Amino acid sequence: MPGHGDLFGQRVVRDALAYVRLAWNPNDRPALVRALEAPPRGLGRLAAVLAEEPIALGELPRFAQDFGPSAVAGAADLVATVYELMPKLRAARALSTSRIERWSEAAIEPGSSDGLTQRPG
């Protein structure tokens, strides 16, 4: 049935999640390998090597030198994109956490046995 597929099975979603995973954990090797080719950067040979040999995200442009100038440029672009995403992801997490805490403080009766009793209004 069209339109009822697995959301996380879609390539574009898995590609986007690779960037989020890298921004959260720059040592996530499977995410790095996936992000190397999303969007296509012509870094397939580099991705194949990295699948076997782990390196740090920040070392990627230096490591890419063995694959030519276009590989270095693509690797530098990936690193810059992930580094730009890092503070945004952390800020979004802090914002959502503080909203949950504020809601909890305002809506939940302290000391209730079920933790769901609302404060008298």
pLDDT tens-digit profile, the chain (121 residues): 455 567 767 888 899 889 889 988 888 988 998 888 888 877 888 888 887 888 888 899 999 999 999 999 999 999 999 999 888 888 887 777 666 666 655 555 455 444 444 444 4
Q: What's the pTM?
A: 0.67
Question: In the chain, how long is the greatest CA-to-CA distance?
Answer: 68
